[in-house]
Chains A and B, each alone.
Chain A
Amino acid sequence: MKFALNDEQRDFAKSLDDLLGAADVPAAARAWGEGDHAAGRKLWTRLADLGVHGLCVPEDAGGLGATPVDVVVAFEQLGRHLVPGPHVESIVVAPVVLAAVDPGALERLASGELVVTLAAPPHTPYALDADIADLVLLLDGGTLCTATAGALHRSVDTARRLFPVTAAEHLATLPEDTVAAAFDAAALACSAQLLGAGERLLAEAVEYAKTRRQFGRAIGEFQALKHALADVRVGLDFARPLLYGAALSLGSADSARDTSAAKVAAADAAYRAARTALQVHGAIGYTLEHDLGLWITKVRALVSAWGTPSVHRTRVLAALGTA
């Protein structure tokens, strides 16, 4: 029993953190929201070079065939740094749904060359970033089709560009467990992004509380803020083990229960982090100029992406045999 990341996984997280920390990701996210994808595409390629896009692609198809734990590690960094793009779709979902249909696509997915997005109603009714995707899919129940995108719908998170889709060419009818596996993997990756975003929001709020002064002292000396931030720490610390627990049980009989538990906990913890970070920052955090809002709105969007908390709580109870 060793319920902790190994050195390799920690190094992987660190190299992603370094890479993304050095890039001006918030600027890329802002530009992405305005339809200027250049900086975001550059990040996409650099992440692919680090192996992120090959995580869920088997080794014999040019990927890394990594574990779900590695995927969680990567997506936590994507969330922490606000990286825009259809990552959950291309990195996590596409390898699962395309494996049987178009094995040749896997290699191009792993290299980052192929950008895939998809809608999977009812929980994921819009395709993210369909305007830049090479392949737009619709997964409706078990029916997998290519799809054409309609007009852009704006998200609360400006960097999430959502498109309604209509089915075009029928590709395959996927078995139920493939569809379930794709959904669980997506929900888990999304949870990891939430955790990363929550960690970043806490870090930003703590930093601000140490420097911002009112009444002649750092606002971080005030117990009301201290206690609110401590509660954020507790929430994130206890969401994390659920996330890794779910990564370990992905694909097992407990997969639905555990990924849903992870999504609920990560969404709650990140949402609390967002609300608290805004409160700690005061009005400055409520401006469009300040980057904080980018994370706050991202978290709000991810809370309901790939299954709302209500959907996931229902799944937990159903899995416990008590629905």
Chain B
Amino acid sequence: MNLDFTEGELAFRDEAREWLREHVPAGPMPPLDTAEGFAARREWEATLAAARWSVVAWPEKYHGRDASMVEWVLFEEEYYRSGAPVRAAQNGISLLAPIIFEHGTPEQQDRYLPAMADGTEIWAQAWSEPEAGSDLASIRSTATRDEARGGWLLNGQKTWSSRAAFADRAFGLFRSDPTAERHRGLTYFLFPLDAEGLSIRPIAQLDGHPGFAELFFDDVFVPDADVLGAPGDGWRVAMSTAGNERGLSLRSPGRFCAAADRLLALWRERGAGHPHLRDRVVDAWLAAQAYRLYTWGTVTRLAAGGDVGAHGSVNKLFWSQLDVGLHEVALDLLGPESELRDEPWLDGYLFSLSGPIYAGTNEIQRNIVAERLLGLPKGGRGR
């Protein structure tokens, strides 16, 4: 057992560190969930891509560096340590791209991956519906066959689609066979957000920014070429990479380590006035460390051919709670100033509150851990 890196890996890390030091914009960007923030990040994505740092683990053919998983995690640590902003392209890169790599046709790969890598096409995820949240398989939005045009017509409504108001394209599941069982008869579609018949209503989030959007579909046409995987096979396609995250969408520990470092700095500044917060500061730092080390364990397992499986749920429970805890203690340290809207910790806090909800609520993750890892019996209806 060791945490030693090869010279090549260290050289890779140093090169990234050096580049980031020179290129990360000074000062914070406007929030990601605003038009200005999104535009600023598009520019940043392009800068990253031009130097081939936007998707380091992808093949060179698609703007990547063929980086190993170890190198990828090292890069992510450097990325967040440098103060670089959260990516606007992350939904596409971490949720859609692995599926395109696994299930996409060569044409789809060539068409979509390069534009995703350089930020010219940013993707939104359109899975949730008003009546289908945790129970995602109950989605009702439909896809009906349009033989004449060689494609499908989408109808219905999607919701909570992050940054769909600013993004270019979206991926989502639609019910293409109403007679099939819940999990069958779903099809995975890729479509532009400015398609005819598609209207978008931004929704303000807790922080006041229009981070969500509702999508209304009125006979939106999608050609066969933009079906991902086989028609009717959408659920399996979507889930094939949901559990087995293949490293590309591991939640980067760099983010939490960087936040823990900032928390320590805040403690140095203000800790003397709040001795009773000591334990919580230590615990937040400790959790970030645990997360970093756990990730190296996961990388080791994946490199040996293992998969993430239901351990992904353990991981999600941990990082989401760690993120909230870290921000809560920072706000306590800030005292009465913590409520001021221009306090950066407050933004981070409000964002952290969504962690236990999105990507499958923590209640659902606990069910998965209990049933699939601990082997407890399934109870009642639902999962």
Contacts of B264 in A (CB 8 A): 320, 322
CB distance from B127 to the nearest CB of A (A): 24
Contacts of A209 in B (CB 8 A): 376
Most buried by B among A4, A239, A309, A321: A4
> Chain B binding site: helix, strand, loop or mixed by DSSP?
helix
3 closest pairs, A vs B, by CB? Answer: A221-B379, A241-B293, A226-B370
In the bound complex, CA of A202 to CA of B299 (Å): 26
Asked if A206 and B285 sit within 8 Å, CB to CB, the answer is no
Contacts of B286 in A (CB 8 A): 242, 261, 264-265, 316
Other A-B pairs beyond A4-B300, A240-B297, 12, CB < 8 Å: A1-B70, A3-B3, A206-B375, A221-B379, A230-B366, A233-B314, A237-B314, A265-B286, A309-B279, A313-B279, A320-B285, A322-B267
Cβ of A17 within 8 Å of any chain B Cβ, yes or no, is no
- List residues of A (239-287) whose CB comes within 8 Å of B's CBs: 239-242, 244-245, 247-248, 261, 264-265
CB distance from A231 to the nearest CB of B (A): 7
In the bound complex, CA of A229 to CA of B281 (Å): 26
Asked if B370 and A6 sit within 8 Å, CB to CB, the answer is no
CB distance from A201 to the nearest CB of B (A): 13
CB distance from B269 to the nearest CB of A (A): 10
Asked if A220 and B377 sit within 8 Å, CB to CB, the answer is yes
In the bound complex, CA of A5 to CA of B297 (Å): 10
Asked if A226 and B1 sit within 8 Å, CB to CB, the answer is no
Produce 1/0 per residue, B245-273, CB < 8 A to A.
00000000000000000001001100100
Contacts of A154 in B (CB 8 A): none
Between A and B, 13 residue pairs with Cβ closer than 8 Å are A1-B2, A2-B1, A217-B379, A220-B379, A226-B376, A229-B376, A230-B317, A230-B374, A241-B294, A241-B297, A248-B1, A261-B290, A317-B282
In the bound complex, CA of A218 to CA of B367 (Å): 15
In the bound complex, CA of A50 to CA of B325 (Å): 43
Asked if A4 and B297 sit within 8 Å, CB to CB, the answer is yes
Interface residues on B, range: 35 or more
Task: Please name the residue on chain B nearest to A68 by beta carbon.
Answer: B1
Contacts of B314 in A (CB 8 A): 233-234, 237
Asked if A1 and B293 sit within 8 Å, CB to CB, the answer is no
CB distance from A3 to the nearest CB of B (A): 4
In the bound complex, CA of A220 to CA of B367 (Å): 11
- Determine which of A245, A313, A316, A317 lies in contact with B293 in the assembled complex, contact meaning CB atoms within 8 Å: A245
Asked if B296 and A1 sit within 8 Å, CB to CB, the answer is yes
Cβ of A9 within 8 Å of any chain B Cβ, yes or no, is yes
- Determine which of A9, A210, A237, A242 lies in contact with B289 in the assembled complex, contact meaning CB atoms within 8 Å: A242
Asked if B379 and A222 sit within 8 Å, CB to CB, the answer is yes
Asked if A218 and B293 sit within 8 Å, CB to CB, the answer is no
Asked if A242 and B293 sit within 8 Å, CB to CB, the answer is yes
Contacts of A4 in B (CB 8 A): 1, 297, 300-301, 304
Asked if A6 and B1 sit within 8 Å, CB to CB, the answer is yes
- Determine which of B70, B271, B281, B294 lies in contact with A238 in the assembled complex, contact meaning CB atoms within 8 Å: B294
In the bound complex, CA of A242 to CA of B282 (Å): 14
- Determine which of B1, B70, B369, B380 lies in contact with A230 in the assembled complex, contact meaning CB atoms within 8 Å: B369
- Whether A245 touches B289, Cβ cut-off 8 Å, given contacts A3-B296, A3-B299, A231-B366, is yes
Asked if B373 and A238 sit within 8 Å, CB to CB, the answer is no
Task: Please name the residue on chain B nearest to A217 by beta carbon.
Answer: B379
Contacts of B375 in A (CB 8 A): 206, 210
In the bound complex, CA of A231 to CA of B301 (Å): 22
Task: Please name the residue on chain B nearest to A69 by beta carbon.
Answer: B1
In the bound complex, CA of A157 to CA of B245 (Å): 43
Number of A residues, CB within 8 Å of B: 49
Cβ of B23 within 8 Å of any chain A Cβ, yes or no, is no
Binding site for A on B (CB under 8 A): 1-6, 9, 70, 264, 267-268, 271, 278-279, 281-283, 285-287, 289-291, 293-294, 296-297, 299-301, 304, 311, 314, 317-318, 363, 365-367, 369-371, 373-380
Cβ of A214 within 8 Å of any chain B Cβ, yes or no, is no
Asked if B290 and A241 sit within 8 Å, CB to CB, the answer is yes
Binding site for B on A (CB under 8 A): 1-6, 9, 67, 69, 202, 206, 209-210, 217-218, 220-223, 225-227, 229-231, 233-234, 237-242, 244-245, 247-248, 261, 264-265, 309-310, 313-314, 316-317, 320-322
Asked if B379 and A313 sit within 8 Å, CB to CB, the answer is no
In the bound complex, CA of A107 to CA of B131 (Å): 70
Asked if A221 and B2 sit within 8 Å, CB to CB, the answer is no
CB distance from A7 to the nearest CB of B (A): 12
CB distance from B372 to the nearest CB of A (A): 10
- Whether A220 touches B376, Cβ cut-off 8 Å, given contacts A1-B4, A6-B1, A264-B283, is yes
- Determine which of A202, A217, A247, A322 lies in contact with B268 in the assembled complex, contact meaning CB atoms within 8 Å: A322
Asked if B287 and A238 sit within 8 Å, CB to CB, the answer is yes
Task: Please name the residue on chain A nearest to B297 by beta carbon.
Answer: A3
CB distance from A323 to the nearest CB of B (A): 9
CB distance from A267 to the nearest CB of B (A): 12
Contacts of A240 in B (CB 8 A): 294, 297
- Determine which of B3, B373, B376 lies in contact with A245 in the assembled complex, contact meaning CB atoms within 8 Å: B3
Asked if B1 and A244 sit within 8 Å, CB to CB, the answer is yes
Contacts of B70 in A (CB 8 A): 1
CB distance from A158 to the nearest CB of B (A): 30
Asked if B1 and A5 sit within 8 Å, CB to CB, the answer is yes
In the bound complex, CA of A310 to CA of B367 (Å): 33
Asked if A1 and B299 sit within 8 Å, CB to CB, the answer is yes
In the bound complex, CA of A318 to CA of B3 (Å): 24
Contacts of B301 in A (CB 8 A): 4
Asked if A261 and B296 sit within 8 Å, CB to CB, the answer is no
Task: Please name the residue on chain A nearest to B313 by beta carbon.
Answer: A230
Asked if B376 and A221 sit within 8 Å, CB to CB, the answer is yes
CB distance from A6 to the nearest CB of B (A): 7
CB distance from A262 to the nearest CB of B (A): 9
In the bound complex, CA of A227 to CA of B318 (Å): 13
Contacts of A69 in B (CB 8 A): 1
Contacts of A221 in B (CB 8 A): 376-380
- Determine which of B289, B300, B317 lies in contact with A234 in the assembled complex, contact meaning CB atoms within 8 Å: B317
Asked if A1 and B300 sit within 8 Å, CB to CB, the answer is yes
In the bound complex, CA of A2 to CA of B380 (Å): 42
In the bound complex, CA of A320 to CA of B271 (Å): 13
CB distance from B174 to the nearest CB of A (A): 31
In the bound complex, CA of A4 to CA of B2 (Å): 8
Asked if A317 and B281 sit within 8 Å, CB to CB, the answer is yes
CB distance from A226 to the nearest CB of B (A): 4
In the bound complex, CA of A166 to CA of B334 (Å): 49
In the bound complex, CA of A230 to CA of B373 (Å): 9
